[in-house]
Structure 1
Amino acid sequence: MTNLGRGTGRREDGVRRPRRKAEETRDDILAAAEILLRKKGLTAFSIANLAAELKMSPANVFKHFHSKTALADAICERHVVQMIGRFQAFDEPIAAPERLVIAVRRLMETHLADIKENPYLFEMLVVVSEADLPSGRHYKQLIENLFANLVRHGIETGVYKCTEDSAITRNVGSAFASVLHPVFLMRADEAELRERCDGLAALVNAALQNPLAK
């Protein structure tokens, strides 16, 4: 692996190379850290091991991330942004109630797959959520925004009969965020979770299509 540098501007063979931008080094650190964290988990992971993998000094890693918790937070941030982005895209016109159900199921299935296939990554999501780190707060905000946009689409297309009110969209997002919170999912029975998500989606759809909904 190429030596990412101890600030010397030279490779291990002594040939001078262009100095890397801080953002590029940060991305390399994140990529290597994610691989190690997926293999070892947060408890067994260390900055020293990461630095050795990257052939850089631990001090260089600490210049970009002050702790392994900060690294985990940054990795989770990238993961949740990519994950939520996938749920906002619909390939064909779909009515608002079906959009809501599809989004809930996609989110649930992705989390369940992460628990099975990437348990250490999901462990990090739980840690950052419990520690109230920035990525945990951002995850909650992204979930609320996702469902706020779904509700707004339903109102604009005339399917949902309530007025566009920030309290309504915020409460819908919060309801789903609480059911699909990583801490809850780690302890949930899969069949019960599916039933609960479908039931909540049906309840929200019924309420939003009711002309008396406020």
Structure 2
Amino acid sequence: MPPITARTKETADETRERIARTADELFRRMGYAKTAVADIAAELGMSPANVYRFFPSKNAIVEAICTRCLVEMENEIRVISAKPLTARERIFELFRAILIYHRDNFISERRLHDMVLVAIESNWDAILAHKLRIAAGIEALLAEGIEEGAFVPHDAAAASQIMLGAMVRFCHPILIAESIDEDLESQLQAALAFILRSVEVQRTPL
């Protein structure tokens, strides 16, 4: 058998990921505004010029972090969508998961607030694509609810967009941060129950 040799050289993607993760840790520890590319480079034991080889700016690093967070959230939503629950129950779980993700991140890492603002401004295309994928997931659940007989027939695509717009207070990280001391989970439950009532089949009591 040929001898086993250890691979010591990182690929470009691995280096980019290491830079992004180190930057994320520093943003959480020091705050976005107080963290310079030089600080990130020093933490990694490399020169700022080397960091700039992989990311043209600090905002570009934020975009990479933001993209990873969006992927994490979408993976969680896919897990919820596959649960053996009714469509209605999964819609509630989906919105609750989004709220908890943003709420808990803000509570534990308030220093990331500035980074979130930058991410929203500089990574809008990725965030818009993320919103479209979330809307598609809600549309699929509404369609399932129609098939189950729980929802009346309706345009699930249009309804998903309306629902996302009406529930933005519980999905947007900035709006969640502004109401962080309120009982947002209870408010979400009440708001979503009210919205879903417009498409739910009303059962006539026997």
**TM-score scaled by structure 2?**
0.80
Contact 1:51 1:57 in 2 (8 A): yes
2:86 maps to which of 88, 95, 114: 95
Which residue matches 1:180? 171
What is the count of residue pairs matched by the alignment?
195
- Give the distance between the partners of 1:20 and 1:93, measured in 2 at CA: 42
> Over residues 39-61 of structure 1, what are the superposed CA-to-partner deviations in whole Å (9 max), with x where a residue is unaligned?
11110111111111212221221
Q: Are residue 147 (structure 1) and residue 148 (structure 2) matched? A: no
- Give the distance between the partners of 2:179 and 2:85, measured in 1 at CA: 30
Answer with 198-207 or 172-181: which moved more: 172-181
**TM-score scaled by structure 1?**
0.78
Cα distance, 1:79 vs structure 2: 1.2
- Give the distance between the partners of 1:74 and 1:108, measured in 2 at CA: 22
1:21 maps to which of 1, 4, 11: 11
Name the aligned partner's letter for residue 60 of structure 1: N
Classify 1:120/1:81 alpha carbon distance in 2 versus 1 (closer, same or farther; 3 Å).
farther
> Over residues 172-197 of structure 1, what are the superposed CA-to-partner deviations in whole Å (9 max), with x where a residue is unaligned?
23332354211111111543533431
Give the gaps of 5 or more residues in structure 1: 1-16
Give the gaps of 5 or more residues in structure 2: 1-6
- Give the distance between the partners of 1:142 and 1:114, measured in 2 at CA: 22
2:149 maps to which of 148, 158, 183: 158
Classify 1:84/1:159 alpha carbon distance in 2 versus 1 (closer, same or farther; 3 Å).
same
- Give the distance between the partners of 2:176 and 2:121, measured in 1 at CA: 13
Cα RMSD after superposing both structures: 2.5
Classify 1:198/1:44 alpha carbon distance in 2 versus 1 (closer, same or farther; 3 Å).
same
- Give the distance between the partners of 2:194 and 2:183, measured in 1 at CA: 16
Classify 1:102/1:134 alpha carbon distance in 2 versus 1 (closer, same or farther; 3 Å).
same
Q: Are residue 48 (structure 1) and residue 14 (structure 2) matched? A: no
Percent identity (aligned): 28
Which residue matches 2:100? 109
Classify 1:88/1:204 alpha carbon distance in 2 versus 1 (closer, same or farther; 3 Å).
farther
